[in-house]
Chain A
Amino acid sequence: MERSIKHSNDWKEVGVSRRSFLGGVSAAAVGSAIYENTPIVQNAAAAEPFSAPVIGPDAVPATLRINGVVRRLVVPLQMTLAEVLRGPLGLTGTKIACNRGACSACTVWLDGAPVASCMILAVDVGDRSITTIEGLADGDRLHPMQAAFIEHDAMQCGFCTPGLVMSCAALIERNPDPSPEDVKTAISGHLCRCGTYQNVIAATMAAAKVRKG
């Protein structure tokens, strides 16, 4: 009987197939994204580990829907979404700062919900649509959250900024009228060493107002 890693104390003994291992990692990734009021992104492979086909160990073809564009590429199984975005796809706006889901710098959207892209394997994305910081603006027109971040100086060195923008933009998509506490909750998984949180909260409140019109 295979179990997901999260609920297993003896996974080494029972043996873990690559498939269930990958599924387990994905489940952990979903669990690690701390966004209250967020619908939990269901991962088909994690929910039904036995029906999924076994893939690998070599790199596999993958079709990723990123920022409205379909990209086909061959992905080594162990590569995270963050690595694939930053490497072969050249979308370096997504940052890796801790590479283990502790800082949220790598936040992107999967079907509109923020996730830590360093904690999900690229091959597990499936047909969910990916939105990165590069895809948030409408051409030259900034997303209201991007404009508000500039207006409120919600960045200093800027390295954690793309991840924060993604989480805050997702918040006002699902909650058009957030309280400052809601914003704190939405960004509670983010780390910013320059200490921009207060301006991030102000920017998010302002962007929500702009969006409501």
Chain B
Amino acid sequence: MSTLGSRTERMPIGIVGVSQRQIDREVPASEPPALAPNADLAVVGKPIPRVGGRAMVTGAARYTVDVKLPGMLIARILRSPHPHARILSVSASAAERYPGVRAVHVVTAMETRAAVRGATATPAAFPPALYVGASLAAVAATTRSIADEALRLIEVKYEVLPFVVDMDEARRREAPSVFEGAGQQAGGGGAAPGPPQVGNVRGPATTNSFYGGPRGNVEQGFREAGVIVEGEFRTQVQTHCCLEPHAVVADWRDDGLTLYISTQDTAGVRKDVAAAFGLPREKVRVITEFMGGGFGSKLGVGDYVMFAVELSRKASAPVSLIFDREEEQLASGNRPGTWQRLRIGARRDGALTAISLLSYGTAGIAAGAGVGNIAQAMYDCPNFEMAQYDVFVNAGPGCAMRAPGNVQGAFALEQSVDELAEKLGIDPIALRDRIDPSAARREERRIGAAHFGWSRRRLPAADAGPVKRGIGMAQSFWPGIVQTSASCEVRLQRDGLVEVRSSVQDIGTGIRTVLAQVVAEELGLRPEDVSVRIGDTNFPLGPSSGGSKTTGSITPAARKAAYQVRQALLAEVAPELGVPPEELIVGHGRIFLRANPAHGIGFRQAVGRLKKDVISAVADRGDNYGGFRVTSPMSLARENLGGVQFAEVSVDTETGIVRVAHVVAVHDCGRPMNPRQIESQIHGGVLMGVSFALYEDRILDRQSGRMLNADLEHYKLAGPREMPSIDVFLIENYQAISATDACGVAEPATIATAAAVANAVYNAVGVRIRNLPMTPASILDVLGRVPGGG
């Protein structure tokens, strides 16, 4: 909608029960009236059962791996067994002749996430294999076993090259180069283009696109400090382990291409595939009905998508390509490993005077292995500097993973602040009350401390026996990202159908449910009266689901569209009821007079009398009321997302086993749209954080370059037995920024966890663990319990 003029709208702002008040915002005239706080609403903010839940528990939910089309072929990918090799030749003729094989695609262009730029040498016929699992060719055949057999018939001549898979080794000048030739650099993976590269080391990045560059004078700040803490921290590579593997079905036809894909971004897939194959966007349709988890690894278009499309084009048949678990572990992305040195100075009263951060991270052959913006932006500190480096190694490309950077950054920052508090003789919560400008986190600390029983915290290593208990807390910080273009349609049909349509995909976070709630609230209906059709680019384009921005981006658009539909409906009904439209109210499935609620008409009855078959409105999200902090490359709200978590652990100092017994997680997400779903998501964030803290670790063999635990039995995930009891508390933190005032929560839910666990382990044993994961071996090592160990 164009914004013809504007008006002033009085809206709720602040934290319910703490600072809630009203604010006047100038809003475009097309915006709906301010939405009341949750307490005054019928559907929004209520724990509505998950839409699609019935399909999930009956097996009816159709995921990409379940899609079966007539004549569909099965594709498999040939992957490099070598961590680094020149590809001298590829002969696929035997595979092409194998009965049942319908198409073969040999990779001849650089199809990885880290595109080589500035290449000086003549490009080889085949791109080099840069890691074990790099794709070399793909085959489509009538069955999976035929496709697998055909892969074995493809003859590849390799010239095996020196490789490096360890970040510390890769940093050395004499280390084998991951990228061949001088002057080559790699970009992508979310990293800023342009930093210099020496050997395998690229950087430093000294600025952040959201929060800018260095500030103040760090040297001066450290001179003013009464206390300085400094620590070196290491975090491991974590893999996404989505239960539904990466999967795509490509159906290339003369009149267009249809892609069924397990993606976090239907609109992005359409854009990228259309561009790659020279198709007009309207000829590409992308469908994601149900989606079995992404956590960042299903943003963007991987090379396998291009293979499936190319094979479908060649074979003139639909092609299904589904990763097996080993491919998932090797080539579907990961959270980069990091090393960081963090130095923080503070005055005796706790006020921070300087923060200096140095980091090296490795996303394999991709860039973007930084430690985020949490050290830069969470606390008040006048002097800050950072240098973040990427280190290339011969391993699968990293990518976004649930709060990329900030999980690793929080592990260092929040342990350092804990250490600072101890040195200052200030309680960690009191110190944060001093240095944290966030009103939301202040309230979260208060709520969490009360429910968790923070006052029972003892001195470190207080237990006399071999099993030592401890408690700790840590905080989350995540940018409030908004996709202003997110749009959707709301339709009202004379036959009674109320439908909301968008390409936005439900990746398990429950946006289906939330959209039904928003439209139902606006039209005075029940959520089950609203049909939600999403995950299809034939509908208006919704946001990508990454950066915790889905809910905050699409729900204002849905409410605006529903509001416009409502206004049109009321205008039609008003004459019949004998009052102007503004005298009418919708609610409880009826349309009735404000002055006389008994006088009215049923919603369905009113819709049945429409003169038109359909009332429809399409709306996009638009800008935040009150503006943004930054609008490039993404729009960033003025307020960030918070969250505070408390953990209780026990450490068996004889076995080294750490158990997380209990976590209290207190979070904000603007207006909570569906507390039950939010709670579920926070459970997931906490569990992923515990898993990262204690168990998960991608292990690469330095001798062979291979991943030694490319499965789910040796790559250990926290399961039911490792799960702590988790208590979730939400605050309502109105910001007066949009028609719904909603924000996301997925990433804040996992940022603080590992740091909270580490602080609790310190409180238990009195020794700080600065390396992840905290395995029994590493615990015994730092406790000096390993015979002959350090």
Q: Which residues of A contact B (CB under 8 A)?
A: 78, 86, 90-100, 102-103, 105, 132-134, 136-137, 142, 145-146, 149-151, 153, 155-162, 165, 183-184, 187-188, 190-201
On whether the beta carbons of A193 and B325 are closer than 8 Å, the reply is no
CB distance from B730 to the nearest CB of A (A): 14
Residues of chain B lying within 8 A (CB to CB) of residue A146: 54, 57-58
Determine if B726 and A96 form an interchain contact, defined as CB atoms under 8 angstroms apart.
no
Known: A95-B65, A153-B677. A198 touches B292 (CB 8 A): no
Contact (Cβ within 8 A) A92 B59: yes
B contact residues, range: 35 or more
User: Could you say which residues of chain A place their CB within 8 Å of the CB of B325?
Assistant: 97-100, 102
Q: Using Cβ atoms and an 8 Å threshold, which residues of chain A touch B65?
A: 92, 95-96
Q: A93-B59, A97-B245, A157-B507 are in contact. List 14 more A-B contacts (CB 8 A).
A: A90-B68, A91-B59, A92-B62, A92-B65, A102-B325, A149-B57, A153-B680, A155-B57, A156-B510, A162-B56, A165-B57, A183-B720, A190-B719, A200-B720
Q: Which A residues lie within 8 Å of B382 (CB)?
A: none
Which residue of chain B lies nearest to A83 when distances are taken between CB atoms in the complex?
B144
Pairwise interchain contact A197-B509, C-beta atoms closer than 8 A: no
Q: How far is the CB of A203 from chain B (nearest CB, A)?
A: 10
Q: Does chain A have a CB within 8 A of B456?
A: no
| B684: contacting residue among A94, A132, A137, A194, CB under 8 A | A194
Q: Quick one: which of A92, A134, A150, A184 contacts B53, CB cutoff 8 A?
A: A150
Taking CB atoms, residues of chain B closer than 8 Å to A78 are 145
Could you say which residues of chain B place their CB within 8 Å of the CB of A158?
52-53, 55-56, 61, 290, 292, 508
User: Which residues of B sit under 8 angstroms from A94, Cβ to Cβ?
Assistant: 59
Binds A, one of B174-182, B557-565, B709-717: B709-717
Q: A95-B243, A98-B711 given as contacts; is B291 within 8 A of A157 (CB)? A: yes
Pick from B83-91, B213-221, B336-344, B685-693 the stretch touching chain A. Answer: B685-693
Residues of chain A with a CB closer than 8 A to B49's CB: 150-151, 153
Q: Give the docked Cα–Cα distance between A26 and B244 (Å).
A: 25
Can you report 26 residue pairs joining A to B where beta carbons are below 8 Å apart?
Answer: A92-B62, A102-B325, A134-B60, A146-B54, A150-B53, A153-B49, A153-B677, A155-B50, A155-B57, A156-B681, A157-B293, A158-B52, A158-B61, A158-B292, A158-B508, A159-B290, A161-B57, A162-B56, A191-B243, A191-B717, A193-B240, A193-B242, A194-B680, A194-B684, A195-B684, A197-B683
Closest Cβ of chain B to A195, distance in Å, is 3
Establish whether residues A194 and B293, one from each chain, have CB atoms under 8 Å apart when the complex forms. yes
Give Cα A86–Cα B240 distance, bound, in whole angstroms.
Answer: 25
Asked whether any CB of chain A lies closer than 8 Å to the CB of B295, the reply is: yes
Are A156's CB and B59's CB within 8 A? no
Any A CB within 8 A of the CB of B66: yes
Query: For the complex, what is the distance from the CA of A112 to the CA of B63, rounded to whole Å?
Result: 26
Complex CA gap A165/B688 in Å reads: 22
Contact partner, A134, options B58, B683, B711, B720, Cβ 8 Å:
B58
Interface residues as binary, B692-719 with A (CB distance below 8 Å gives 1, 0 otherwise): 0000000000000000000111000101
A199 x B713 contact (CB < 8 A): no
Q: Check B244 against A97 for contact (C-beta < 8 Å).
A: yes
* Min distance, Cβ A183 to any Cβ of chain B, angstroms: 8
CA distance A191 to B52 in the complex (A): 21
Could you say which residues of chain A place their CB within 8 Å of the CB of B685?
A: 195
Q: Which of B295, B711, B723 contacts A102 (CB 8 A)?
A: B711
Which chain B residues border A165 with CB–CB below 8 Å?
A: 57
CB contact under 8 A between A197 and B680, given known A90-B68, A146-B58, A158-B56: no
Residue of A nearest to B513 (CB): A153
The 9 A-B pairs with the shortest beta carbon distances in the complex, nearest first, are: A93-B59, A157-B508, A159-B292, A195-B684, A158-B56, A195-B687, A133-B59, A92-B66, A156-B508
Closest beta carbon of chain A to B551's beta carbon, Å? 14
In the complex, are the beta carbons of A193 and B293 less than 8 A apart?
yes
Residues in A with CB closer than 8 Å to B54 are 142, 146, 150
Kindly state whether residue B349 has any CB partner on chain A within 8 Å. no
Q: Is the CB of A199 within 8 A of B683?
A: yes
- Which residues of A are found within 8 Å of B27, using beta-carbon distances? none
Is B57 in contact with A159, judged by CB distance below 8 angstroms?
no
Q: Is B576 in the interface zone, CB < 8 Å from A? A: no
**Contact status A197-B295, CB under 8 Å:** no
B346 at the interface (CB under 8 A from A): no
Q: Is the CB of A184 within 8 A of B243?
A: no
Pair B244/A157 contact, Cβ less than 8 Å: yes
Question: How far is A162 from B62 in the complex, measured between Cα atoms in Å?
Answer: 12
Residues of A within 8 A of B736 (CB): none
Does chain A have a CB within 8 A of B324?
Answer: yes
- CB nearest to B674 among chain A residues: A153
* Interface assignment of B208: CB less than 8 Å from any CB of chain A: no
Cβ contact within 8 Å between B292 and A142: no
Please give, as numbers and ranges, the residues of chain B lying within 8 Å of A194 by CB-CB distance: 293, 508, 680-681, 684
The 8 A CB mask of B131-158 against A (1 = contact, 0 = none) is 0000000000000010000000000000
Among the listed B59, B244, B677, which residue makes an inter-chain contact with A162, where contact means beta carbons less than 8 Å apart? B59
Bound-state Cα–Cα, A153 to B50, Å: 7
Residues of A within 8 A of B683 (CB): 195-199
Q: Using A191-B243, A193-B688 as known contacts, say yes or no to A93 and B58 having CB atoms under 8 A apart.
A: yes
Residues of A within 8 A of B713 (CB): 98, 100, 102
A188 touches B721 (CB 8 A): yes
Shortest CB-to-CB span from B618 to chain A, Å, is 28
- CB contacts under 8 Å to A, within B647-697, are 676-677, 679-681, 683-688
Minimum CB distance partner of B54 in chain A = A150
Give the complex CA separation of A197 and B722 in angstroms. 10
Complex contact A184–B721 (CB within 8 A): yes
Q: Report A-chain residues with C-beta under 8 Å of the C-beta of B509.
A: 156
| CB of B241 closer than 8 Å to a CB of A | yes
Considering the chains assembled together, what is the distance between the CA atoms of A187 and B720 in angstroms? 7
